[in-house]
Amino acid sequence: MRKLYILIFILSFVQLFAQNKDIFQGRIVMNDSIPVSDVHVQNLHNEKFTTTDKEGYFTISASESNALQFTHVSLQTTHRLLKATDFGTVVVIKMRTLIHELEGVEVQKAPDITAQSLGILQHTPTQRTYNEKQLYTSRAGGFGFIALLNKISGRTKMLRKVLMNEQNLKVANYIIDNMSEFLKKELNLDEEEIRYLAYYLMENPEYHRVTQNKESKTLQFMLIDSWLQIQQEANNESE
């Protein structure tokens, strides 16, 4: 009988531990410290969802490698790819204020200002084609998202291969043509960032499969996962 009690205790402990690993606890803040209530939290893998309380806290069913999406009417949509270290503690997630465009405001195109019109150059600089510009900037370097992709993927080498593989280009073009609106809305990417992300992912066999089968929902999940992984690599590079 004593052995039976011990066995029941062990099984209960294991079950409790397993349940805790399937629960993610977090807190949403803005401006580094202000708690945000009524944030909609959704697990994109199991479609579970919840909302934050008045102190910004929430719990949700999740496991390692799941992607969570955080939405609020006045904040930018945020995503997080869960790691094993995220469980067993309360993870603080920061959200940014959503900037709304003003209706009825028309932006006039400013006149072109060139080095010649300002008197800086007395000659006309060399005009490069689009691909020449891309190759030049990849060698010269840059800042932000594009510089990150240069560092991770070796963009100069990638650009030299762009026209060599028609199937890869089909994948990139499919992402650009069919996922641009989704990426703008969910990840706040601009057109140039979307183009570079598509080129960065176009050699991945999984992206070949889902684009060929036109699995739009799966492709959306994969793009979010890939974007979150790029952000993680960027954080690791900066540490």
What percent of the chain is predicted at pLDDT more than 90?
24
For residue 221, give the nearest of 209, 235, 210 by alpha carbon: 210
Domain range annotation of the chain: 23-97, 130-234
Q: What is the CATH number of domain 23-97?
A: 2.60.40.1120
Q: Is the pLDDT of residue 35 over 60?
A: yes
* pLDDT number for residue 143: 46
Average pLDDT over residues 36-45: 90
Q: Is the pLDDT of residue 72 over 90?
A: no
Amino acid at position 88, single letter = G
pLDDT band at 211 (very low <50, low <70, confident <90, very high): very high
Separation between Cα atoms, residue 70 and residue 118, nearest integer Å? 47
Separation between Cα atoms, residue 216 and residue 198, nearest integer Å? 15
- The H-or-E segment that residue 192 falls in is helix 191-201
Q: Assign 3-state DSSP to the chain and report helix, strand, coil percentages, each to 5.
A: 50, 20, 35
pLDDT band at 17 (very low <50, low <70, confident <90, very high): very low
Distance of CA 195 to CAs 126, 141, 149, 199, Å? Answer: 25, 17, 12, 6
Separation between Cα atoms, residue 212 and residue 206, nearest integer Å? 10
* pLDDT number for residue 97: 84
Global pTM value: 0.47
What percent of the chain is predicted at pLDDT more than 70?
62
